[in-house]
């Protein structure tokens, strides 16, 4: 094989995974404690280096699985980070991926086995290198997507209350939403099926349960909309 690029600079290419989770109450982020230098003992995103025989998507899947035991999660590419001195050890470019998952769908004991830990977004520790910037960008992207497509299908139980759905939106947007406006907006999307069942744990009268209309949900997600309440 011709060594065509032998005179070019060589740099490392890293992949960092930003995993947000919802636990029915608040938005959380999954972090791991770094066990090697530099910054040993500090909290970090799940990261690693691209191998010669894989593409970026495959690297992201491998890194997340290796460090947390989490598999089969769709991650979206966020941004690339190329500041010259972002990694003090060696010249490294990082491509960040992000995802939002239902925490209950993933085995907490398995995650703990890998020394990964969920933190509330509001109480998360400082992270190594430029990982705080990555998280900030990911949150902004997540909030933007929330305003453009429906949310909740994979994050809520099959049957849920309107209050549970509102809590999800409030957790991601980090703001209190007016109940009446929220209900009117959600109903206008026509993606919910109101059931004859009630959740009797929420109040003495109970709260009606809903399900997503999967066909309408997928269509609305493809079409997009503007969510402002």
Q: Which residues contact 35 (CB under 8 A, 6 or more apart)?
A: 41, 115
Examine residue 229 and state whether it is found in any structural domain, yes or no: no
Note whether 112 and 213 are same-domain residues.
Answer: no
Cis ω for the linkage preceding 38 (within 30 of 0): yes
Q: Are strands 12-22 and 92-102 parallel, antiparallel or unpaired?
A: parallel
Length of the chain in residues, anyone?
229
Grouping H, G, I as helix, E, B as strand and the rest as coil, residue 135 is helix
Say how far apart CA 62 and CA 57 lie, in whole Å: 9
Note whether 126 and 164 are same-domain residues.
Answer: no
pLDDT the model gives residue 110: 79
- Please count the structural domains in the chain: 2
Say how far apart CA 40 and CA 37 lie, in whole Å: 5
Examine residue 155 and state whether it is found in any structural domain, yes or no: no
Note whether 144 and 206 are same-domain residues.
Answer: no
Domain that includes residue 169, residue range: 160-223
Say how far apart CA 136 and CA 45 lie, in whole Å: 13
Q: Are residues 225 and 148 in contact, defined by beta-carbon separation less than 8 angstroms?
A: yes
pLDDT the model gives residue 1: 53
Q: Are residues 99 and 143 in contact, defined by beta-carbon separation less than 8 angstroms?
A: no
Average pLDDT along the chain, 229 residues, taken 10 residues at a time: 80 97 93 92 97 97 95 95 95 97 85 89 96 98 92 91 95 94 93 92 84 93 79
Question: What's the number of CA atoms in the CB half-sphere (13 Å) around residue 46?
Answer: 29
Note whether 109 and 181 are same-domain residues.
Answer: no
- Kindly give the residue spans of alpha helices, DSSP state H, lying in the chain: 56-68, 108-113, 131-148, 162-173, 179-189, 214-223
Note whether 79 and 168 are same-domain residues.
Answer: no
- CATH number of the domain bearing residue 115: 3.90.79.10
Note whether 23 and 127 are same-domain residues.
Answer: yes
- For 114-129, the DSSP string reads TTEEEEEGGGPPP-ST
Note whether 115 and 173 are same-domain residues.
Answer: no
Note whether 123 and 201 are same-domain residues.
Answer: no
pTM for the full model? 0.92
Examine residue 204 and state whether it is found in any structural domain, yes or no: yes
Per-residue pLDDT tens over the stretch 125-155:
999 999 999 999 999 999 999 989 888 888 9
pLDDT the model gives residue 169: 95
Name residue 92's beta-bridge partners: 12
Q: Which residues contact 152 (CB under 8 A, 6 or more apart)?
A: 160, 165, 168, 212
Q: Which residues of 167-196 are buried (b: 16+ CB within 10 A; e: fewer)?
A: bbbebbbeeeeeeeebbebbeeeebbeeee
Note whether 69 and 142 are same-domain residues.
Answer: yes
């Amino acid at each position: 094989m011709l060594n065509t690029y032998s005179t070019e600079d060589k740099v490392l290419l890293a992949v960092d995974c930003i995993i947000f989770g919802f636990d029915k109450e608040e938005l959380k982020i999954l972090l791991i404690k770094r066990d090697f230098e530099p910054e040993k003992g500090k909290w970090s995103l799940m990261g690693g280096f691209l191998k010669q025989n894989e593409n970026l998507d495959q690297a992201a899947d491998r890194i997340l699985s290796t460090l947390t035991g989490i598999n089969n999660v769709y991650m979206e590419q966020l941004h690339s980070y190329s500041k010259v001195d972002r990694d003090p050890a060696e010249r490294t470019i990082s491509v960040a991926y992000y995802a939002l998952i239902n925490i209950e769908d993933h085995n907490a004991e398995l995650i703990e086995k890998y020394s990964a830990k969920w933190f509330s977004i509001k109480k998360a520790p400082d992270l190594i290198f430029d990982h705080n910037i990555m998280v900030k960008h990911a949150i902004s992207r997540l909030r933007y997507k929330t305003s453009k497509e429906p949310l909740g299908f994979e994050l809520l139980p099959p049957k849920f209350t309107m209050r549970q759905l509102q809590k999800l939106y409030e957790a991601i947007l980090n703001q209190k939403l007016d109940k009446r406006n929220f209900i009117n907006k959600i109903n206008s999307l026509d993606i919910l099926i109101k059931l004859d069942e009630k959740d009797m744990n929420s109040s003495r009268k109970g709260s009606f349960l809903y399900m997503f209309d999967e066909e309408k949900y997928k269509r609305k997600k493809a079409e997009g909309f503007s969510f402002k309440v």
